[in-house]
Amino acid sequence: MGYAYYVGLAINGAVEGLTIGLAALAINLVFAVGRFPNATTGDLMTVGAYAGIAVQQSGLRSLWLQGLAAVGASMALSLALYLFVFRALRGRGMLAPLLASIGLAILVRSVLSFFAGHDQYVFQLPIVRPIMIAGIPVQSYDLWLGGVALVCVLLVMAILFLSPIGRQMRAVADDLTLARTSGINVDRVYLVMWLLVGFVTGVAGMVLGVRTVVMPEMGWNMLLPAFAAAVLGGVGSPAGAVLAAMVVGIAQEMSTPVLGFTYKIGLAFMVLVVILAVRPAGLFGRVERVR
């Protein structure tokens, strides 16, 4: 196993990391603005992937159309969850919305299993040769999917840091009461935040679905590494969450030759524990409040 093999693993880990990063970004958004850990994140991804599969089953082969359906379905579900459940739980502390999100996650998975069964689905992609970059074989789909995930992350960052609504979202994350007395329309901020969560999880679901297989538990299985990345990156730091997810993804893949496939997740969490022991606020977290 030479150098090229390890670079290949690192690239694979980076794409895996970006997928986890998207989920971590969605968790981070809800945690910062909505103030609870959202357990439906993984299942929003799953719904997106199934929507893509549904379009494929209808005979439409365009991956872009399937992706569009994935994003649309996740956004619609995310918005519905907010309007019908989480809006009523605003200001009720962290526990009530967290428990509701766990219940909703199970409900969404059950509904998917009821209608789509437990069969595994795959996105039908034409077989292509790996492309050679500096003597290293790279799957072109990995490059595409990594690119899509990266563009999605950059788009969310641009919204958060360059647009007025993003600024308002960060203000609500800092201090809800001050945001309200600053005249910020908090309802609108929540609405946009949940749509953004739907968008991100839809893209993540599609990327994960194309790279692996589509089944009811696919998103749920992704939830723990995503939570780990969100904590590792520093709660409240969206860029940190994505970078931490890359660390988790690359560490997992690079450990495969030594530890084997089964134990790679264990190593990811060992990295998490070690980093948190050294930096309790996470890699990019700040313990800072104006008092």
Chain positions contacting other proteins, by CB under 8 A: 164, 167-168, 170-171, 173-175, 177-186, 236, 286, 288-291
**Helix/strand/coil for 46:** helix
| CB-nearer residue toward other proteins: 166 or 225 | 166
| CB-nearer residue toward other proteins: 218 or 241 | 241
Is residue 286 classed exposed, middle or buried when 0-12, 13-18 and 19+ CB atoms within 10 A define those classes?
Answer: exposed
Please give the single-letter amino acid code of residue 271: V
Query: In the Cβ-directed half-sphere of 3, how many Cα atoms lie within 13 Å?
Result: 3
Q: How far is C-alpha 270 from the geometric centre of its chain's CA atoms?
A: 21
Q: Are 56 and 124 in contact (CB under 8 A)?
A: yes
* Shortest Cβ 125–other proteins spacing (Å): 42
Q: How far is C-alpha 91 from the geometric centre of its chain's CA atoms?
A: 25
Report the distance separating Cα 291 and Cα 159, nearest Å: 28
- Encoding tokens for residue 7? 């670079």
| CB-nearer residue toward other proteins: 180 or 279 | 180
Distances (CA, A) of 218 to 146, 182, 210, 223, 233: 18, 41, 12, 9, 23
| CB-nearer residue toward other proteins: 164 or 260 | 164
* Shortest Cβ 162–other proteins spacing (Å): 11
Report the distance separating Cα 154 and Cα 162, nearest Å: 11
* Shortest Cβ 166–other proteins spacing (Å): 10
* Shortest Cβ 289–other proteins spacing (Å): 6
**Helix/strand/coil for 254:** helix
* Shortest Cβ 249–other proteins spacing (Å): 27
| CB-nearer residue toward other proteins: 249 or 285 | 285
* Shortest Cβ 291–other proteins spacing (Å): 6
Report the distance separating Cα 57 and Cα 66, nearest Å: 10
**Cα dihedral 160, 162, 164, 170 in deg (nearest 10):** 30
* Shortest Cβ 175–other proteins spacing (Å): 5
| CB-nearer residue toward other proteins: 68 or 186 | 186
* Shortest Cβ 179–other proteins spacing (Å): 8
| CB-nearer residue toward other proteins: 70 or 173 | 173
Looking at the DSSP assignment, which residues form a beta bridge with residue 121? 214
| CB-nearer residue toward other proteins: 59 or 183 | 183
